[in-house]
Amino acid sequence: MTYELDSTPTGEEPHATTDSESAHDDDGCTTDGSAAGGLEESLGVTIPDDHVGAFVAQAFEDVERSTEWEEAIDAVVADEARDAWNRLEPRKQVIELLKMADQFDRKATALLEEIPLDRGGLDDDLREQFDDAKRLRRNADVVRDGIAAGYAEGRVSDDELVDAVETFEFDTAAIAEREDALDDVANAYNLDFRPYGGTLMNERDPDDDAEEFEAW
């Protein structure tokens, strides 16, 4: 199977893609042109069929956390909906989780893009809006980390994971837009935030100081 990395220059500043999302070039998904520097054509990366599931799962992992499948499900599926959820096949469950993560990403981006970039500082309402966007961003990453855990735990097979990603037509574009919007606001007001994917070199335990999931 070949994964295409769209490396066509866009004229925009390159933005970082990381462990989960940069590898999220899953099945035919495309990323922004920053992935391959100044090349003007797509680069095909061939992944052996029997390793595709592992490649996709690793792409969804969040280095800041170690989320369990059930933990992610408990966070986004209401108790009264659990019976219906449990009746879904694993492929369908992954699709639903991908939809939830995508909704979190898009809501976060919308909140960030509503924040003006030409003020001297943020008032309390806008700062709260920025914090809400970061929580939504974290929720999306936790959900995808839960998908990776489901694969590692054997709850989702290679074929089920790959088929779910292809059916959902997962694309890194929404994540890239989210990160661009976050970077714009943070730079405009000198705000602190943890870059997407966290720090690859980290002396603390991955879950230490990691913020809790808050459903939005």
The per-residue pLDDT for range 61-93, each reduced to its tens digit, is: 877 778 899 999 999 999 999 999 999 999 999
CA dihedral 104→106→108→113, nearest 10 degrees, is -170
Instruction: Output the pTM of the full model.
Output: 0.69
CB-based contact 168:99 (threshold 8 Å): yes
Phi, psi dihedrals of residue 12, rounded to the nearest 5° = -100, 165
- Whole-number mean pLDDT of the chain? 74
In angstroms, the Cα distances linking 42 to 5, 15, 19 are 5, 18, 20
CB-based contact 33:10 (threshold 8 Å): yes
Residue whose pair of structure tokens reads 């997407």 in the numeric block: 196
Q: Which of 169, 173, 111, 168 is nearest to 136 (CA)?
A: 111
26 — pLDDT class (breaks 50, 70, 90): very low
* pLDDT tens digit sequence for 182-211: 999 999 999 887 776 543 333 344 444 445
CB-based contact 53:161 (threshold 8 Å): yes
CB-based contact 177:109 (threshold 8 Å): yes
For residue 24 the two structure tokens come to: 């999220």
pLDDT of residue 6: 33
CA distance 21 to 144: 9
